[in-house]
């Protein structure tokens, strides 16, 4: 197949877990996909290897120093190398790109992904924070441009698949499943003493550090509730969360006649990534099949909101609306970063988020600049709280 007939991709966040898995799929199907743009943060070594292997036309890194290092190492044979937010936007809007895989962790993915939509690019969305911070604004732009938006998160991919061929008016509720992370049965006394190593030990999934901590606090699931609200245009009261420790049922849709339709599979992100890349087709992946006969138990339970207050905070942010979810997300990113640096304890993460939310007066969002201002305000407020606690 000629290059013109291959789906041209820009992968934002190519050195993260989603980006690496996406490139594995591209390598397995070279007749279907080609890489036009790659972006990365600090992992320049891995990015360099990806550039040599996939030969993108344009890449973007975080800063000038990293860009100059890459230019020196790759020489004149290398791609166009850009940096900063402008570099991200130029990669996301490259004229040859058909689909943008949005896999940058956190609110940093908002500006380039919005730019990609405005430029008419289809989106494979792995960055839930975009819809958390600017859901209504983002979905309005998706509708205005008429682009395809395919979710990559395993839970939202499961719902997307379970809704196929059904009438939206027949949906009673969505049920997002959650593993419960490493602290599903941990007592509150024990949670006071958990360390970073404990929180990073996810029982089922291999993910980046920030997402792994979000899973441990269940903020990850709270963000997914907000994401589902905008992706599937349903209010919070029709979006439930069930703890499912086995991570086999990735999520379910309950219909008005009592029927439940679910998507099942092994806990591996390559399946939802491949589905987003190939939709409405499916790729023949060399994945280990799910053998239901070996499943001794598939259990479900209600989440313990005392143990996981971040989930309640997400529902509260969604109810308050406006800029509140953006502020909540910003505070969470700062608090998680502080925990990863061992500046604060595990239980301080939701405490900091709650204080920031309590200090914020939500504003109606009508422009992207308001989202960015709210994000910056939330980061400053959370940073100040952490600094006060450290210096106390």
Three-state DSSP string of the chain: CCHHHCEEEEEECCCCHHHHHHHHHHHHCCCCEEEEEEECCCCHHHHHHHHHHHCCCEEEECCHHHHHHHHHHHHHHCCEEEEHHHHHHHHHCCCCCCEEEECCCCHHHHHHHHHHHHCCCEEEECCHHHHHHHHHHHHHHHHHHCCCEEECCHHHHHHHHHCCCCCHHHEEEEEEEECCHHHCCCCHHHHCCCCHHHHCCCCCCCCCHHHHHHHHHCHHHHHHHHHHHHHCCCCHHHEEEEECCCCCEEEEEEECCCCEEEEECCCCCHHHHHHHHHCCCCCCCCCCCCCHHHCCCCCCECCCCCCCHHHHHHHHHHHHCCCHHHHHHHHHHHHHHHHHCCCCCCCHHHHHHHHHHHHCCCCCCCCHHHHHHHHHHHHHHHHHHHHHHHHC
Q: Could you tell me which CATH number the domain at 321-392 has? A: 1.10.1740.10
pLDDT at 269 (0 to 100):
93
* 44-48, 125-129, 187-191, 373-377: range with lowest mean pLDDT: 187-191
Q: Check: CB of residue 12 under 8 Å from CB of residue 88.
A: yes
Q: Whose CA is closest to 298, among 254, 256, 342, 248?
A: 248
Higher per-residue confidence, 5 vs 385: 385
Q: Phi/psi zone of residue 35: left (φ > 0), alpha (ψ -120 to 50 degrees), beta?
A: beta
How much is the average pLDDT of 374-382?
Answer: 97
156-165 pLDDT, tens digit per residue, is: 999 999 999 9
Contacts of 43 (CB under 8 A, 6+ apart): 15
User: Both tokens of residue 334?
Assistant: 């700062």
Cα 97 to chain center, whole Å?
A: 21
In the sheet with 7-12, reading across from the earlier edge strand, the strands are 80-83, 58-61, 33-39, 7-12, 99-102, 122-125, 149-151
* 20-24, 284-288, 298-302, 335-339: range with lowest mean pLDDT: 284-288
User: What is the homologous superfamily of the domain 3-151 according to CATH?
Assistant: NAD(P)-binding Rossmann-like Domain (3.40.50.720)
User: Both tokens of residue 149?
Assistant: 């938006």
Q: Whose CA is closest to 229, among 302, 152, 319?
A: 319
Higher per-residue confidence, 137 vs 204: 137
Cis peptide before 52 (omega within 30 of 0): no
How much is the average pLDDT of 135-153?
Answer: 97
Q: Tell me what the pLDDT averaged over the chain comes to.
A: 94
pLDDT at 201 (0 to 100):
84
pLDDT at 160 (0 to 100):
98
175-208 pLDDT, tens digit per residue, is: 999 998 888 888 888 888 888 888 888 777 667 7
pLDDT at 78 (0 to 100):
87
pTM attached to this predicted model: 0.93
86-106 pLDDT, tens digit per residue, is: 999 999 999 999 999 999 988
pLDDT at 165 (0 to 100):
94
Q: Is the pLDDT of residue 1 over 60?
A: no
Contacts of 202 (CB under 8 A, 6+ apart): 179, 181, 182, 212, 215, 216
324-346 pLDDT, tens digit per residue, is: 999 999 999 999 999 999 999 99
Higher per-residue confidence, 325 vs 211: 325
pLDDT at 82 (0 to 100):
96
pLDDT > 90 in the chain, percent: 83
Confidence of residue 223 (pLDDT cuts 50, 70, 90): very high
229-266 pLDDT, tens digit per residue, is: 999 999 999 999 999 999 999 999 999 999 999 999 99
What are the residues facing 101 on neighbouring strands?
11, 124
pLDDT at 295 (0 to 100):
87
Give residue limits of the domains in the chain: 3-151, 153-316, 321-392
pLDDT at 5 (0 to 100):
87
What is the separation, in whole angstroms, between the first and last Cα of the chain? 64
pLDDT at 390 (0 to 100):
58
Q: Is the pLDDT of residue 48 over 90?
A: yes
Confidence of residue 279 (pLDDT cuts 50, 70, 90): very high
pLDDT at 391 (0 to 100):
55
- The DSSP bridge pattern shows strands 171-178 and 249-255 to be antiparallel
């Amino acid at each position: 197949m000629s290059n013109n007939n291959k789906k041209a991709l820009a992968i934002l966040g190519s050195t993260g877990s989603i980006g690496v898995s996406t490139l594995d799929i591209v390598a397995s199907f070279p007749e279907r996909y080609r890489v036009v743009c790659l972006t990365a943060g600090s992992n320049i070594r891995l990015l360099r290897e990806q550039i040599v292997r996939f030969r993108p036309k344009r890449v973007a890194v975080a800063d000038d120093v990293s860009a100059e290092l890459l230019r020196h190492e790759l020489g004149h044979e290398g791609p166009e190398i850009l940096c900063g937010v402008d570099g991200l936007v130029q990669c996301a809007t490259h004229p040859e790109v058909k689909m943008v895989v949005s896999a940058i962790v956190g609110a940093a993915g908002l500006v380039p992904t919005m730019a990609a939509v405005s430029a008419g690019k289809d989106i494979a969305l792995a960055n839930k924070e975009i819809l958390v911070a600017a859901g209504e604004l983002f979905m309005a732009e998706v509708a205005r441009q008429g682009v395809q938006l395919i979710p990559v998160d395993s839970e939202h991919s499961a719902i997307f698949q379970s809704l196929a061929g059904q009438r939206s008016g027949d949906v009673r509720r969505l049920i997002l499943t959650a593993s419960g992370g490493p602290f599903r049965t941990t007592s509150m006394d024990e949670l006071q003493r958990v360390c970073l190593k404990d929180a990073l030990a996810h029982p089922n999934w291999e993910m980046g550090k920030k997402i792994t901590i979000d899973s441990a606090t269940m903020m990850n699931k709270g963000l997914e509730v907000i994401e589902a609200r905008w992706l599937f245009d349903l209010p919070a009261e029709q979006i439930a969360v069930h703890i499912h420790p086995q991570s086999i049922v990735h999520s379910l849709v309950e219909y008005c006649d009592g029927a439940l339709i679910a998507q099942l599979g092994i806990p591996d992100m390559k399946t939802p990534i491949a589905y987003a890349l190939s939709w409405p087709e499916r790729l023949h992946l060399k994945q280990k099949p799910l053998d239901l006969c070996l499943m001794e138990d598939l259990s479900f339970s209600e989440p313990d909101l005392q143990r996981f207050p971040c989930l309640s905070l997400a529902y509260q942010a969604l109810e308050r609306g406006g800029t509140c979810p953006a502020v909540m997300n910003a505070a969470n990113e700062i608090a998680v970063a502080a925990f990863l640096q061992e500046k604060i304890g595990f239980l301080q993460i939701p405490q900091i988020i709650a204080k920031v939310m309590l200090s914020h007066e939500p504003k109606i969002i009508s422009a992207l600049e308001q989202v960015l201002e709210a994000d910056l305000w939330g980061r400053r407020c959370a940073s100040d709280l952490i600094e006060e606690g450290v210096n106390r």
